[in-house]
Chains A and B, each alone.
Chain A
């Protein structure tokens, strides 16, 4: 698949598609040929959607989540609990946590996690705005909800140190055995951690 395609236009489009994550040249060619078979208007709509997305997308002034307006729907919602801020990596985590219907507080989207390999240091993340928000009068608790990978844990630790001077309560979501899971099939590392971080039975919330 390294040989050049007979059309430069085709070649250019395939090149662009193959830059997407998880897409190789073969898949890129298949996608491009598919678009070629579609009506002109459909492809125009497709292209415009991408251009509009890139040019008009906004990041919420408060939580840095992706939004169409200056402040996202969650931050604008008067019914949300303004005393709690949950720190997440990106919008996918916001969607996942909203899906639980268990959280009524606000979010702060970091926009990534610390990873020098990928060139991401503290200055690439929305850390300063987080500290500013944490210093706000209404805020009482900050909940860390980052991945349990080594980089995620390192980022949590970094944020914890940054947040300590604010004097606010800093918590982290629990990690352990999945609900409805059998103990014997839980991986030993998770199981071991859940023993170390065991909780008072009377304080276990089951809803």
Chain B
């Protein structure tokens, strides 16, 4: 599967554009604010029915425009699939595949899978534990629907218990039986989540280590550690022990909603001790490992969108990364960078054919097929 062609109308800073892609590697270069990332955003729309970098559809309208339209042609084993997305301001967006609308947009997801790696991914490392939990949960729930259901039930039970704690704190009256009831509920729901997260990390760890080793040339060692209050002690006993504290704080202080994923380089936590370049390598390795994990359990090769990944990485790491993602088990590749010479030299170095698009002020110049035959 690959994206053959995309056409934009009033999308972000593009009034009108039409691009025909190389089945393997495509590069967008140009100065800041030219519209490189906007092209990735449009591709993401076609794959996931929504943007990656924007939170609402309306943000993607060109200034003063009242509608945008994206249309794409995917070449698949079955033939040609035409995907289009139209947003008229104030209306629901219309998403069509081969001129047919979906009952639910969710049905489209997974048909043209995509992996995005961008500077903002950095928050997996620098952000709070909730970002890392969301990263883990996002992957597991793609594979295991009952996981997501249990997790949602747990969160709901947690809200109920917290409401009860608050009531007890305010009224000063405690019905021990009711607290026990919600404790038991949390324990029952937390168990499977904890087990599945543990199993996931065990499987994910070697994939992550391998990706990281490849990027940094095997000079550094990494380790993932799943941290959960459930691993130290019996959750039910811990809830009972912490009840007084929980009532004072009106909040459940222990549980899988406090889990974290610690990442180490050479034995030191990445969050505090790693350089920016190392952190970036870790982020990319996490994302690549995510892709490897999903493809192992039968997802088709996704398109890979790399936004501004060369920044902060040394040349060796850049070439290794490009070598890795150019391999056959990865799908079509889209890369952005401000420097054309850098992009070109990277791909020359790892001997990969590529096509370059110059982007500036919402216009795309497609230099004649720069297919460097080697």
Contact = CB atoms under 8 A, between A and B. Distances in A.
A151 B184 contact: no
Given A154-B182, A188-B146, A189-B146, A119 B167 contact: yes
Given A150-B153, A157-B184, A188-B145, A117 B175 contact: no
B181 A116 contact: no
B164 A116 contact: yes
B98 to A, nearest CB: 22
Interface string A48-67: 00000000000000000000
B153 A117 contact: no
Interface residues of A, number: 16
B229 to A, nearest CB: 21
B351 interface: no
Contacts of B178: 114, 116, 121-122
A116 B149 contact: no
B183 to A, nearest CB: 11
B185 interface: yes
Interface string A165-207: 0000000000000000000000111001000000000000000
Contacts, number: 46
Interface string B150-165: 0001001101110110
B157 A116 contact: no
Nearest to A161: B181
B160 A117 contact: yes
B149 A189 contact: yes
B181 A114 contact: yes
Interface string A111-147: 0001111010110000000000000000000000000
Nearest to B157: A150
A152 to B, nearest CB: 11
B175 A151 contact: no
A116 B252 CA distance: 14
A158 interface: yes
A157 B146 contact: no
A150 B160 CA distance: 10
B185 A116 contact: no
A119 B171 CA distance: 12
Contacts of B106: none
Interface in B173-203: 175, 177-178, 181-182, 184-185
B163 to A, nearest CB: 4
Nearest to B148: A189
A150 B156 contact: yes
Describe A's contact surface by its main secondary structure. Answer: helix
A159 B159 CA distance: 21
A128 to B, nearest CB: 13
Given A119-B167, A121-B178, A192 B160 contact: no
A115 B145 contact: no
A122 B175 contact: yes
Contact of B145 (A121, A150, A189): A189
A118 to B, nearest CB: 8
A18 to B, nearest CB: 26
A157 B181 contact: yes
B177 A192 contact: no
A154 B146 contact: no
Nearest to A154: B185
Contacts of A115: 160
Interface in A23-72: none
A157 B185 contact: yes
A205 B34 CA distance: 67
Interface of A: 114-117, 119, 121-122, 150-151, 154, 157-158, 187-189, 192
10 contacts: A114-B178, A114-B181, A119-B167, A121-B167, A121-B175, A122-B175, A122-B178, A150-B153, A150-B157, A151-B156
Given A150-B156, A189-B149, 17 more contacts: A114-B160, A116-B161, A116-B182, A121-B164, A121-B167, A122-B177, A154-B160, A154-B181, A154-B182, A154-B185, A157-B181, A157-B184, A157-B185, A158-B181, A188-B145, A189-B146, A192-B146
Interface of B: 145-146, 149, 153, 156-157, 159-161, 163-164, 167, 175, 177-178, 181-182, 184-185
Q: What 8 A-B pairs come out closest when comparing CB atoms?
A: A116-B164, A188-B145, A116-B163, A117-B163, A150-B153, A189-B149, A150-B156, A116-B160
